[in-house]
Chain A
């Protein structure tokens, strides 16, 4: 495997202004494959591409090209070419001169340049456009000039940074197929960056799903879709019902109030897990035959299938089915065991657990003020002497985003938001720790919000090792 990979990234870390952009990225890109870096904006996919292109140096880690470390090699000395997001065609040059730019720098003879450019323009379907000004071309044509300009240099690797982002839907679909054909025809390694999961699934040999500067999963489009590594991947790729469940024992899972058979094992007994069921994998039966029953609350005809919303045990399930049941009817549902995907929870524990030190207190009123990450927050239940370290267990519904915009803890980063059928499971990151929150509202990932604590739901006890400290004070 090792000698097959053309580019390897090893333990790549990048920080901008103290913010982690890439967190220990390890990636092997194989020769002649079409690999896609997929993820929401701000996940680090473009940064990864820029590191391969040589436009950015990682803070730490190795970039290897055919086994040789190439950190510090400038872009013009790498046999890699890039198709930029906004094409970056040279406005002062016509189509021919844009495409010939790299060849002229290589000092090839004139007639050879002419021939190569002509051939490349034919490949991208722009025969006869040599003399046109690039600013007079349509978006799709500019796009193809950009691809021709990069490919004509005969790079080992072509990097494409969301090249179809600016095109309209129909053109985008055509270009997806065209790009895949060009890749097959030219037998090059394509590294493609996109946030469009459909694009990634359509074109790629392998997909790298990224989030928050980390790689969540690497696999073929089929693997990524059918065997998502975690709830984030399942949520990002395609449509999915992501539910809370409990792994009772190997091959047995409790979800939506029913005990179902599944094909996964090794999670231990009575372990909370995330369960993913694709909408097309839920089979509709009569209420008697189903392993789960529910009430149809919405039906939309989508052409190939019906999209149904079914309420069961407080949860809304999304079902894609070729048969439909009228709104209000009771139906049974069945899922084949191999279509129930079990995965570890994104957040390691079921609730937030943290320590806080009492900074002021009064014996008259049962109120103490504690310090959480340097913020002084009032706590209403109980009295503890000053200096006591408290261990607080706060359930996910004891946290909420401050509606007044002020909050007790500010600038908390929303790392992920996943709809669990009845509520959103939100993972937040403050300066020192991560938080698990439940919310009925949808929130925007990768934004900063203020949060509030509801300590009436918390279990508070003095942290055992700190009682001695407080005695000394």
Chain B
């Protein structure tokens, strides 16, 4: 019984700051000023469909790039000496201690027209527009969310006993097969939590696209921010749609993960 009492503050917290706002968002989204049920705001939200798809596309692309980068990095970290492991995880954590906005500003300065990176390329006669496009947004997102992919992957990989890898080699696996037949199936839970931790916040992120993207590269997070100040109802309706879409994505992903873990 003691354990339940200890959970009380958290339950209270959840109620006040998660459940109540959720109910408020839903109620704003489906009720007009008089409190009557209406689909008007949801219909308005549908007008932002292209922004929705763009956001999902950018988030998905960033997640895939994060996964492709994080997987080998995590594997190398988890297989190195304990001291090296600590140093490397520390190096990955350090940027997270700095303010998020500050880091995005830093990218703006680096990538701006006639900025250091562009100047470097122009030395070789290459003229590049580095900022104000989808590429810059994805770069910012990958930079921002990479640690959230590495940490869960590193955690599950660290738990893989080295003797399992040796056993796979012993039974005739080359390095590729060790990863494909042993490491990958055992890291599926890590991949799922990593993907969730990157994809969900990446979809609803804002500011990154405002600073690094051009005027055409607005993401749904930015839309919600803007719309909400003037029209709470439509803003809530967009947020509700986003929630449903993300929820669907997570369900699909977990279903896929379960099959993966059993099927191999």
Contact = CB atoms under 8 A, between A and B. Distances in A.
B167 A88 contact: yes
B261 interface: yes
B185 interface: yes
Interface residues of A, number: 24
A75 B163 contact: no
Contact of B170 (A76, A86, A89, A91): A76
A106 interface: yes
B256 to A, nearest CB: 16
A53 interface: yes
Interface in B160-185: 161, 163-164, 166-174, 177, 181-182, 185
A85 B164 CA distance: 11
A8 interface: no
A92 B261 contact: yes
A401 B173 CA distance: 50
B264 to A, nearest CB: 7
Interface string B142-172: 0000000000000000000101101111111
B181 A101 contact: yes
A93 B172 CA distance: 17
Contact of A75 (B164, B166, B186, B264): B166
Contact of A85 (B163, B173, B174): B163
A82 to B, nearest CB: 5
Contact of A82 (B164, B170, B173, B186): B170
B171 A149 contact: yes
A106 B172 contact: yes
Given A76-B173, A105-B171, A149-B171, A92 B185 contact: yes
A90 B167 CA distance: 9
A147 to B, nearest CB: 13
A116 to B, nearest CB: 13
B186 A91 contact: yes
A84 interface: yes
Contacts, number: 60
A75 B170 contact: yes
A81 interface: yes
Interface string A256-287: 00000000000000000000000000000000
B163 A81 contact: no
A314 B157 CA distance: 60
A75 B177 contact: no
B171 A101 contact: yes
Given A81-B171, A86-B161, A153-B172, A55 B166 contact: yes
A82 B181 CA distance: 18
A74 B169 contact: yes
Contacts of A75: 166, 169-170
A333 B116 CA distance: 95
Contacts of B167: 82, 84, 88-90, 149
Contacts of B261: 92
Nearest to B185: A92
A74 B168 CA distance: 12
A163 interface: no
Given A92-B186, A92-B264, A105 B163 contact: no
Interface in A13-53: 53
Nearest to A86: B163
A261 B170 CA distance: 54
B177 A105 contact: yes
A23 B110 CA distance: 57
B175 to A, nearest CB: 9
A413 to B, nearest CB: 24
A240 interface: no
B182 A90 contact: yes
A102 B171 CA distance: 5
A388 B141 CA distance: 73
Contacts of A91: 186
Nearest to A106: B172
A150 interface: yes
A105 B173 contact: yes
B181 to A, nearest CB: 7
A76 B169 contact: yes
Contact of A101 (B163, B168, B174): B168
Interface in B191-232: none
Contacts of B168: 90, 101
A411 B171 CA distance: 41
Contacts of A80: 170
A16 to B, nearest CB: 12
B171 to A, nearest CB: 4
Nearest to B164: A88
Contacts of A93: 264
18 contacts: A55-B166, A74-B169, A75-B166, A75-B169, A76-B169, A76-B170, A76-B173, A81-B170, A84-B167, A88-B163, A88-B164, A89-B167, A92-B261, A92-B264, A101-B168, A102-B172, A149-B171, A153-B172
By Cβ-Cβ distance, the 9 closest A-B pairs, closest first, are A102-B171, A88-B163, A88-B167, A75-B169, A105-B172, A92-B185, A82-B170, A84-B163, A76-B172
Interface of B: 161, 163-164, 166-174, 177, 181-182, 185-186, 261, 264
